[in-house]
Structure 1
Amino acid sequence: MHKLRLRSDGILGYTLIIPIIFLVFVIIGMPFFNALYLSFTDKVVGADPQFIGLNNYIEILSNSDYWKVLWNTFIYMIAGVGLKLLIGTILALVVNEKFFGRSVVRMLLLIPWALSGMVAAITWKWMYDDTYGIINSMLMSTGLIDLPIPWLSGTNIALVSVIIVNIWRGVPFFIFSILGGLQTIDHQMYEAARIDGASWLRQFWAITLPSIMPVIKVATLLSAIWTFNDFENIFLITGGGPLHASAVISTYTYEVAFMQRELGKALSVAGSVIPLLVIMIIFSTKKLHNDD
């Protein structure tokens, strides 16, 4: 009787989630499979698609611009996520301490995350301007530079410029994620460590870091996915230029689709990184599961 009741409850549970599964498939699944199919066609704006097999993938893989953009994407993700994690962890440790005005500081640190992406991008674009930008103006007034730095037009620095903005916007996510983990640590552990004569650094490595590591891993995984697929920040600030110096997969896909009007090829660009994202997610989730 008990087994029958458990079986009926299981059937009821699966029945109740069927509408959700169907809705997710309609909203996400169907467009995804349609886009995947179109990546194997010669689809262009205003014409019916014709199946051409792997031609699009062969063409993009033999294009040096694609490899440059893919390299930029990994630099953008690794540098951005790594520095956001480092800075976010340090600031989380700071605002976790008690000091006057702590609530105000926490509120100010949240502003970059809460600010509209378009407003933030346009503001930074103005700040980076070679002629009127406040960054070059301040650096020149202090004597640190003699000539304006081409933040947005220099092929060697454009990618760095958008990485800085990505870090500025993403640090608050790490701060408050890690801060939540810090506040769950039992303070008696620190008191016992101090009694044993453990230094602040020793307490951090032995107590703090292991305690917040699950939070760090989840936050890093989410940030890596978001950063890898970032579009708005780069498109509004540099447009991926100059000469694809700051272009990533998302902006390059947009360029091929809406400027070159080759939708099939653009979807093959997007589809080419799906295995990389899947591998990254599977590896990360397995790592989290094994650690738990």
Structure 2
Amino acid sequence: MKIKNTQITKYASQQKKDRRLGIILVIPVLFVIFAITGIPFVRAVYWSFTNKVVGSKPSFVGVANYIRIFHDKIYWKSFFNTLVYTCGCIAAKFLLGLLWAVLLNQDLKGKGFFRTALLIPWALPGMVAAMTWRWMYDGTYGIINSLLLHSGIISTPIAWLSDPKLTLLSTMIVNVWRGVPFFMFSILGVLQTLDKQMYEAAIIDGAGIFQQFFHITIPNIANVLMVTTLLSTIWTFNDFENVWLVTGGGPLYSSSTIATYTYDMAFIQNYLGRALSIAVSVIPILLILMFVFQKIQKKIDA
């Protein structure tokens, strides 16, 4: 018994030493991370409470910027557009990515070609993709209108980039096109690790395709679905490059999002303090979103 107690004591002591060593090794990394991201973030939050203008010194104004943006119609329009943009894109990417993953997990001819082809949108630089779609949407030279006209589906060109009712949808289509491969390959990766014996047993028990999908496939890939959806939601909510390059947030802020309106306020109107208050105002939403996903993740794991 004494020997066992001594071994347990030595083991506990070694664990404490390992923890201390781990903390010591992590501290320099934490300093670097704080210097790169922490200091600019703290400064941005402080400037959101000032009347900072590009090229001048800031002076503290309290919550005046936040009061102003909450009475700003364009802010609320951008906020609503952001929610529509995020929810619509995530729903489409989730469903299409899941569909393609399930199809490419089957024994189909040419699936290697489709896997490569479907990876291209994700691999393309954002600027290249956005500018290509901007050309395709063009009312005069765009290939989309040209195909629709020649096929007789429409009689006049569609104003994809100038009609306030269509501009947000136009940017969403580009985001979905680029984001589906991320969902598809994430889900496909976990589908290929599932034990085929589960499906064989389900077939013997008389389970149909849909029963297998909802009672075997979905529960076994739920964790990957949650993580993929969370990451894509954060990226989509903060998407600036796609919206700005395709429509610039216009016309008349019809496709403006929080990200593009922040840029517009900071670097076009030069109100950096107000721009930062716009950016900071949505941080609680992202924190709540991550908290909700973590709660759901714990229920899945349980």
Cα distance in 2 for residues equivalent to 1:190 and 1:46: 65
The match for 1:161 among 158, 170, 174 is 170
Superposition pairs for residues 92-241 of structure 1, below 5 Å?
A: 92-241=101-250
Q: Which stretch has the larger CA shift, 208-217 or 223-232?
A: 208-217
Superimposed CA distance per residue, residues 89-142 of structure 1 (whole angstroms, 9 cap, x where no aligned partner): 000001111122211110001000001111100000000001111101111111
Question: Once the 2 structures are TM-superposed, how far is the Cα of residue 202 of structure 1 from its aligned partner?
Answer: 1.0
The question of 1:46 aligning with 2:55 is answered yes
For structure 1, the 5+ residue unaligned runs are none
For structure 2, the 5+ residue unaligned runs are 1-8
- TM-score normalised to the size of structure 2? 0.95
| Percent identity of paired positions between Structure 1 and Structure 2 | 53
Secondary structure, counterpart of 2:118 in structure 1 = helix
Q: Which residue of 1 aligns with 2:268?
A: 259
- TM-score normalised to the size of structure 1? 0.99
Cα distance in 2 for residues equivalent to 1:264 and 1:251: 15
The question of 1:87 aligning with 2:96 is answered yes
Q: Quick check: which has more Rg, 1 or 2?
A: 2
Letter in 1 for 2:108: F
Q: Which residue of 1 aligns with 2:3?
A: none
Q: Could you tell me whether the CA contact under 8 Å between 2:222 and 2:300 is conserved in 1?
A: no
Cα distance in 1 for residues equivalent to 2:17 and 2:212: 51
Letter in 2 for 1:203: Q
Superimposed CA distance per residue, residues 205-245 of structure 1 (whole angstroms, 9 cap, x where no aligned partner): 11111111111111000000000000110110100001111
Cα distance in 2 for residues equivalent to 1:134 and 1:4: 70
Cα distance in 1 for residues equivalent to 2:145 and 2:24: 61
The match for 1:75 among 66, 84, 90 is 84
Cα distance in 2 for residues equivalent to 1:78 and 1:153: 23
Q: Which stretch has the larger CA shift, 2-11 or 99-108?
A: 2-11
Q: Which stretch has the larger CA shift, 139-148 or 218-227?
A: 139-148
The match for 1:65 among 68, 71, 74 is 74
Secondary structure, counterpart of 1:93 in structure 2 = helix
Letter in 1 for 2:22: G
Cα distance in 1 for residues equivalent to 2:54 and 2:174: 33
Question: Once the 2 structures are TM-superposed, how far is the Cα of residue 167 of structure 1 from its aligned partner?
Answer: 0.2
Count of equivalent residues: 292
CA RMSD in angstroms comes to 0.8
